[in-house]
Structure 1
């Protein structure tokens, strides 16, 4: 890499599937610093082996997500089970620079349930009217 002089400009781009955050073109200032520092944000993989997700406006089985890649800041919806009301409900998660958190309520089905009883999975059963209420163990804060 070479030194850059005052008012010289540099153009940034990211590797494929990475997302540029910040200005693509930056300029060397009279202080010797750059006008800004762009960053390339990494894509995410969906870290489940079995299940169905909602991604890019469609409901898909995880094995049909090829390649298993979600772009930075893109949302993915997982399906959780309300065991009391026996219904499924969606929970969104967002890719953040290579990290896509799996919601705590998501339970990856076993091979048998996934292959033979897929119609009973949270993504395939009746959707709940509302997500489950907070657990009864949590107490409200005093005013």
Structure 2
């Protein structure tokens, strides 16, 4: 039995990202378990993003901000990111106020510029 090589692009099925539904009011003792869950989701799947459903997170406060910051740091250390689903407008305002920029589901992903690339070069000057 022989197998013919295919021509053209390979078809790859897109993996849906892992979804973590965050519970109601955030308890301090639950943070470590949620971070471990994000770490396991990123280690077990091929997707580099965990979608955090924050619709039921409760009243927006510093405990919610702390949890989301810790989840983002955990995901980054594992080589991924988190993306928020269904955030409350008050939570978004609080995240912006404290300077925590997280991706929202449905938004285009922001990428950092490549290292060592100059954005402007004077005419006649070599690019470094």
Larger Rg: 1
Q: Normalized against structure 1, the TM-score is what?
A: 0.23
Q: TM-score, normalised by structure 2?
A: 0.24
Relative contact order (alpha carbons < 8 A, sep ≥ 6): 1 or 2 greater?
Answer: 2
More helix by share: 2
Q: Which has the higher strand share?
A: 1
